[in-house]
Amino acid sequence: ESSMAESRYIWLDGQLVEYEKATVHFLNTALHYGLGVFEGIRCYSTSRGPAIFRLKEHMERLVNSAKILGFRSLPFTADQLGEACKEVVRANGFQACYIRPLIFHESEKRDLNLDSGVARVGIAAWAWGAYLGEDSEEKGVRMNVSSYTRHHPNVMMTKAKVTGNYANSVLAKTESVRLGFDEAVMLDPQGYVAECTGENLFIVRKGVIYTPGTWAVLEGITRDSLIVLARDLGYPVVETQISRDHLYIADEMFVCGTAAEVVPVTEIDFRIIGDGKAGPVTRALARAFREVVRGEHPRSAEWLSYVNG
Ligand code: PMP
C-alpha cells in the first residue's frame, strides 16, 4: 500500500534530498530560539489520485506566519512552495499523507535579531493516521481544561504557526495526557475558551453552532471549512466568546484540525457532554468533511489540488 510507504525524500531549500541527508546544524538559530513557521497539510487518496486539501490557503497562512514573525523576504513564493508540496508527495509515492512545510531561521551571529539571518525552507511528508486516535472520529475523546493559559496575542502571535509558540501547546498536551485525558482545552488570558493544543473547538446548543472568534486563536483552515459546510447544511454558526461552563452544558462538542480532522468530544472536566456519544450535528459535519476530502462533494472542486495535474 503506497499510502503506508516510508518517507524517502525531503525538499530542502529548493531540492529533493534523501531523508537521511536532510539535516540541520546543531547551532541553527531556529532550534535554539524557536524561530520557525510551519504548516500541517493533508493529502487524501481520491479516485483521481492524491489530492491536497486547501493547499492555497495553507501556503497563504505559511507566508503570513513568516510575515507575522518578521521575515522580510522569503526565498520562494507561496505558489512555488505549493508546487514543492506536490513534488514531495509525488517523489515519495504517497496516495495519502501529512505534509509539513517549515520556514526556519539561520544565522551565523546567533543573536536575537531576525535580520541577522536568512530564511531557509524544508518540506517533509509522512503517512499519518488519525491524530487523536484511530477510532476518535467514532468514539470521541475526553478532555480537560488546561491549567496552562493560551498565549495573549500580544505575547505570542496566535495567528502564526511559529514553532516557539508550540512550547505552550506541549505544556498543556503533556499535562492532559499525563492526567489521562486525550487533549487539553485552553482558555485565553481573559478566561474564555480559546482552542485546543492543535485543534479549534466548537459546541452545539439547541441547533446553533458556536465557536470562539479568531481574535486569540489560530485561523484554522479546517475550522473555516466546517463553518462553510455547516452553513451549506443550514446550521447557523455564531463566532462568540464561550465560557468554560458553556462547554459543560453543550448538547455537542467537537474539535477540528488538519491532523485530528473532525473529532467529537464526549467528556470535558469529568462532565459527560450530551449523551456521551457523537451528536447528530457533529456526525453530519464529519460526514460532509469526509466526502469533501474524498473528492465526492460539491465543495471538493474548489478545495482539492490534485497532485498529478
Ligand atoms: N489551533 C492550533 C493551535 C493548531 O496548531 C492547529 C493545527 N494547525 C489548529 C488550531 C487547526 O488548524 P488547521 O485546521 O488549519 O489545521
ipTM, interface predicted TM-score of the complex: 0.99
Please tell me the total count of domains within the chain. Answer: 2
Q: Is residue 307 part of a domain?
A: no
Distance 219 CA to ligand 1 centre (A): 7
pLDDT of residue 3: 40
| Together in a domain, 37 and 90 | yes
Give yes or no: residues 38 and 144 share one domain.
no
- Together in a domain, 113 and 157: no
14 domain residue, yes or no: yes
Task: Please name the residues in contact with 222: beta carbons below 8 A apart, sequence gap of 6 or more.
Answer: 199, 200, 256, 257, 258, 261, 262, 289
Q: Is 101 in the same domain as 239?
A: no
Half-sphere exposure of 207 (CA within 13 A, CB side): 3
- pLDDT beneath 50: ranges in the chain: 1-4
In this structure, are 258 and 197 located in the same domain? yes
Quote the CA–CA distance of 180 and 178 in Å, as a whole number: 5
Please indicate, yes or no, if residue 195 is contained in any of the structural domains.
yes
**How much is the pLDDT for 1?**
39
| Domain-located, residue 61 | yes
My answer on whether 160 and 260 are in the same domain is: yes
CA distance 117 to 112: 10
166 and 32 inside one domain: no
Q: 66: how many CB neighbours lie within 10 A of its CB?
A: 22
Q: Which atom of ligand 1 is nearest to the CA of 224?
A: 14
Q: Which of 70, 104, 126 is the last residue of a domain?
A: 126
Q: Which amino acid is at 309?
A: G
Residues 92 and 228 in one domain: no
- Is 79 among the domain residues? yes
In a domain, 62, yes or no: yes
Can you tell me which atom of ligand 1 is nearest the CA of 258?
16
Distance CA 199, CA 218 (A): 9
Is residue 195 lining ligand 1, measured as CB closer than 6 Å?
Answer: yes
151 lines ligand 1 (CB under 6 A): no
Give Cα 226 to chain centroid, integer Å: 13
For residues 250 and 188, state if they share a domain.
yes
- On whether both 111 and 252 belong to a single domain, the answer is no
In a domain, 305, yes or no: no
Same domain, 110 and 173: no
Give CA 137 to chain center in angstroms.
16
Tell me, yes or no, whether 299 lies in a domain: no
- Residue 261 CB–ligand 1 contact under 6 Å: no
How do beta strands 261-268 and 141-149 pair? parallel
Name the residue of 166, 197, 229, 258 whose CB sits within 8 Å of the most ligand 1 atoms, as the mutation to test its pocket: 258
Write out pLDDT tens, residues 58-77.
999 999 999 999 999 999 99
Task: Looking at the CA of residue 197, tell me the nearest atom of ligand 1.
Answer: 3
Rg of the chain over CA atoms, in angstroms?
19
Q: Is 40 in the pocket of ligand 1 (CB under 6 A)?
A: yes
What pLDDT does residue 309 have?
80
CATH of the domain at 157: 3.20.10.10
299 contacts 232 by C-beta, under 8 angstroms: yes
Alpha-carbon distance values, 186 to 143, 151, 209 (Å):
10, 9, 19
Catalytic residue, chosen from 56, 109, 159, 161, is 161
What is the residue range of 148's domain? 136-293
Q: What CATH number should be reported for the domain holding residue 114?
A: 3.30.470.10
- Give yes or no for residue 34 CB within 6 A of ligand 1: no
**Per-residue pLDDT at 2:** 41
Same domain for 283 and 169? yes
pLDDT tens digits, residue range 236-294? 999 999 999 999 999 999 999 999 999 999 999 999 999 999 999 999 999 999 999 99
How far, in Å, is the centroid of ligand 1 from the Cα of 227?
15
Q: Among 126, 151, 185, where does a domain finish?
A: 126
Name the H helices within 13-108: 29-33, 55-69, 78-92
Q: Which three cell numbers stand for residue 125?
A: 511528508
**CB burial readout 229-252, b (16+ within 10 A) else e:** bbeeeebebeeeebeeebbbebbb
- Name the domain boundary from 126, 161, 178: 126
Contact 196, 185 (CB under 8 A): yes
Q: How far is the CA of 300 from the centre of ligand 1 (A)?
A: 20
- The reply to whether 161 belongs to the active site is yes
> In what helix (H) or strand (E) does residue 301 lie, and over which residues does it extend?
helix 300-303
